[in-house]
Each structure stands twice: as C-alpha cells, then as structure tokens.
Structure 1
Amino acid sequence: MVLMDQATPAAFDNQYFRNLQDGGGLLASDQLLYTDNRTRADVNAWANSTAAFSQAFVDAITRLGRVGVKSGSQGNIRTRCDVFN
C-alpha cells in the first residue's frame, strides 16, 4: 500500500495540497496540479485554508451525486459492488 500523504495518512485534510506546494506529489500527474498555471491557484487556496478545502470537497461531492442518477427500474443497487444482482 502506498500512502498519498505521509504526514497525516489517517486524517482527511488538506495536507495533500500542502505536499504539492513542497514538490511532494506522489505522482507526476498530481504534481502537475501545482506546476500548471490553470490549477495552481486552486492548489494554493486548498493548501492554505482547511475551510476552503472542505467547502470545495462538499461542492464536488454534491455535484458528483447528481451525475447519471438512475431511479426505478433503470437502476440497480448492488448488495455487493463486484456482482450484479
């Protein structure tokens, strides 16, 4: 197992983004979030403010929850994720 964050591996916090600021991204694609001018401001905002990170997470999860929601006979709620009912 590889930890995404060595500093606070058991906490859900913004340390991941502070790691990017310090050049400590686990993957090159992660580190690009900080080196790319299009996303650097977001990384800085989330690294510097726990409240901003938390609100961005809530907003993202809320939007994700609305993607492709199926209901009635269109959906399938699995009792096991790896097996169709």
Structure 2
Amino acid sequence: MTDLRNNAPRRYFVDAGGRRVLIGLTLEETFEFERLDSKPVADLSEGQVLRDGKVPWPAAGEQRWQELYAKHDGAWKAWLVQNRGERAVGFSLY
C-alpha cells in the first residue's frame, strides 16, 4: 500500500518573517493551536474531556482547539478548491 502522507499538500505557509503559519490562522493563532494540540492533561477532576477516547484534555482548551481547527480547516478546504484548477492547468507528465 502506498503511503499518501507525503503526497498531501502542506497545511502551512511561510509568512513574510519566515515563520510557518497554518492556512487561515494568524501567527498567534497557529502558536496557540500548536500549544493546545501538544498539551494533554492527566487529571479528569476539573471538567475535562477525553479526546479520541484516550488522552484527557481541559474542556476549555478542547473547545478553543476545535474553534481554531474549524477556522483552519475551512480556509484549507477553500485553498484546495482554489488551487486545484491552477495545478490541473500547469500539470504535465511529458
């Protein structure tokens, strides 16, 4: 089976300062999203939720993560549609 992960377009762009920013988010939102995405919490006692049924996350952090992801994902899908036509026109095997 072919590994398709390397064939997917990257979801980041490089801003004028040379920093990676998620499509549809600001630099600050990208930083916040990545911080929330990499920070599991081990205590379920204070209103936390389970993400993917495995790793506990704070409910407020999970909600903000979902907001940022939804914003990014919407912009990402629009970017794909916009660029799909450009790639098809410039695509040539020979």
Length-normalised TM-score, structure 1: 0.30
Higher relative contact order by CA 8 Å / sep ≥ 6: 1 or 2? 2
- More strand per residue: 2
Length-normalised TM-score, structure 2: 0.28
